[in-house]
């Protein structure tokens, strides 16, 4: 997901998306441990999406009038 798409979300939606990403990362870790994951680059994508979401949430907390 691109940062522009995340910036269009409300803080509640972004928090919900962040929870989904953490769940997906958890499941990907299990798939790697059991050697069931074929697309290992997905781990990197999810970690970067988590970082993006956290950054945007932090920006919104610091500057609530931007939205």
In this predicted model, what pLDDT tens digit does every residue of 7-55 receive, in sequence order? 999 999 999 999 999 999 999 999 999 999 999 999 999 999 999 999 9
Q: For residue 39, what are the CA distances in angstroms to 6, 44, 63?
A: 24, 10, 37
CA distance 1 to 16: 14
DSSP code of 2?
-
CA distance 40 to 4: 25
pTM over 0.85: yes
For helices 41-62 and 11-33, what crossing angle results, to 10°? 160
The matching CATH number, chosen from 1.10.287.310, 2.40.40.20, 3.30.465.10, 2.40.160.20, for 3-66 is: 1.10.287.310
């Amino acid at each position: 997901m691109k940062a522009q798409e995340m910036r269009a979300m409300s803080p509640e939606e972004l928090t919900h998306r962040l929870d989904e990403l953490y769940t997906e990362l958890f499941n990907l870790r299990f798939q790697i441990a059991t050697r069931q994951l074929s697309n290992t680059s997905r781990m990197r994508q999810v970690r970067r999406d988590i970082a993006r979401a956290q950054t945007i949430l932090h920006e919104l907390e610091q500057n609530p009038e931007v939205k």
